[in-house]
Structure 1
Amino acid sequence: MVLSTTGSVLVSFLWSLTVVLGQGDWGVTYSTQSICVLKGSTVELSCTYKYPSGYNVTSTFWFTKEISTENYVNLSDDPDYRGHVTYHSDEENRHTLMITDLRETDSAEYKFRFITDQPGGKRIGQPGVTLSVTGLQVEVTGGKMKTLTCNTSCPLTGNPTYIWYKNGQQIDESSSHQYKDLVKSYYRASYSCSVKGHEHLHSPTVCVLGQTCNRVTYTQRRICVLKGSSVDISCTYAGYNPVISSLWFRSDKMTPRDVTKDPEYTGRVLNTLPSTLRITDLREKDSAEYRFTFKTSNFEWGHSFPGTTLTVTDVQVKMTPATVTEGQNVTLTCITSCPLTDNPTYIWYKTVTSPKTSGQSYSITNITSEDSGEYYCEVRNGRGYKISSALMVTLAGKQTSVLTASVGITVVVLFLILCPSGFILFRMRGCKSPPDTTDLTDDGQTDSSPVNDNVSDMVMTSTAAQTADTDNQDVLHYASVHYSSSKEQDVPLYSSIQKQEEEVQYVAVKLNCASDAT
């Protein structure tokens, strides 16, 4: 889940420090050696590499873990980074790892590895990039004049600007991580801090006089749940004066609006207790930061930043590699956009009703055509369950064969359909009387040659013999078309050739043509 807004991405190549590793023609160049960023923000780590000519790179990836010798865990496949890490490269040989929604557990040394097609052609950039992830914490010291310090576990990269809040309202913006304020013994105030560009990543609120101020504490800071399930978002709160009203609202709205009265949540939201918000039939657009606020009898407001960030995720199946051939090993992985809350379980199906195995990933060794088909994964946790859409697994080359066969069958079918139609049309045209080929003389009289006379006599004879049978038979009967030619008819034009045509019968198809008498 990406929590950062514009300007929240801390790009490591802004540092001028460059580390070049390797010898000769081999090397990995990182854009920075170390970086310190805020919890909940986004960071980019990048590098370039070089290798001898004649080699071809077959694999590149970032990693933090080494299971055994030469067995490194690609961060893109690491369950601990599922849903909040992406890796991409560009034409300028820059290889960038982006980590979103950073957690303190993401603090580690990140290394880049590339593999070529030659023996021994493997390299790792040593040392890697040291990433430190820190939260903000306000410390209060002093007497009446209080000194407030916005502390971090490491010096933040990029000379940040600090923002201070008093009772939820911004009071100061400075490059200093300290702020001084005169606090009277009877004045009960709460303070928090943030960094410019990451205003949504507040420190927890502290009260300068202990617990005697209005404050809210959230039960969970982040919740990731399945689309279609339900969720409870809860908190505890205390006010110095009696609380007279309270509400839950989304921080991305321009003005705080009671979620229970929002039309987008009609019929899906309920306050089981003033401090607990329940949302059912969750949708991905419900993803947001939810905050609780209350008003006391003397019209003071009590709240704390940040609130609880809810992420609603769908489920997808990813296949690695994306294209496979027979005999390869294939891994199917059930993907969500964020690490699910409440220890989810996974079940795999080849059809919707036949479970095959459990686990977030499903491996197929030495895949064959029998393994082709639709695969699903089902995810369950204490809040509900979700079945992914189907992923069709096919072998490269098999689809081509099927397509070729389909095209071949289609051509044959079209041939069988069109050829008889063409033949029938040809015969229909052939059965019509030949055009009159007599020539007109200059005085308008016809001049007929012996050849034309013979042909005309032949046509007349044939036509007269068939007139009685063909007067009412101009209809094509596709069920039985039959064509016959006279065996004894001599054509004077070809008097030197005796042509005899055998009777040809075309499967039970009969053609009857009517001739026009001259």
Structure 2
Amino acid sequence: LTCKKGGKFTGRTCATGCKIQSHTLKFWSQNATIWSQSVALHYLMVLRTLPTAVVRLCSCFKMFLIIISYPTCCIETLNVHILLRMFSPPDGPKRPSVSVSPSAEIVEGSSVTLTCSSDANPAANYTWYKGNQTLLQGSERRYNFSSVSSEDRGNYYCKSENQYGQINSSSLFIDVQYGPKLPSVSVSPSAEIVEGSSVTLTCSSDANPAANYTWYKENEDSPKASGQIFTITDFRAEHSGNYYCEAQNRRGCQNSTLHLTVVAGKSGKSFLFWGPLLELLPPRPETG
């Protein structure tokens, strides 16, 4: 705080050497007057509480130029620079906003921080939710994942609360990307299948983004099929063997193995048996 023309700075007040009948006090922000009022002071100028209208227009810790003109005083103009800390009246929280860091793609195993921001006086307490599940309560407005997993994928929101009210944020979807989990393989029909019948193999894997599927047969270089479903329309003995389903996305790759074999039955018909084991058991000898 500086004074010109004989004024003396004494802490937060500015004393002048002449008797002041009246003056006009103006607050300026971005080249526009935001408050102006004539007040009568005597010898000592003291900055007091600003009107509510000014409080609402001003942000905390902004620099203002206060111009004070004295029409009947021996000094002409007093220029004052002061750092004002504005205090808004008590109020309930405004609607919170939720942000996520990093804002780019979130990959399983990485560190992720959710931040809840809400303007409130006094300061708000926060509650974090995933769906209907409460995750965290208290003054901490951040929720951290030290190593995010695929199970953390979902909708999150926060609640801001003080003694004057409470309000929820809108929901934010956290999309966690991860490589394929171990695929599961099924055979249809699931009962015994007579040789010459149609056989359908299906491969499924949990992955984000969705996996691409490729089918291979052991000891063959070329893929047998692409896609989740692989159909053999006329299953014969030569189709027996180990089949691999490979699930792949840009985050990883996994595969599962299925063994198919044809076994001769009592009636002379051949039947298809299948299972996840790689070891082949010799057919049991027929009796009777």
Q: TM-score, normalised by structure 1?
A: 0.25
Instruction: Find the structure with the greater CA-based Rg.
Output: 1
| Structure (1/2) with the larger helix percentage | 1
Quick one: higher RCO (CA 8 Å, sep 6+), 1 or 2? 2
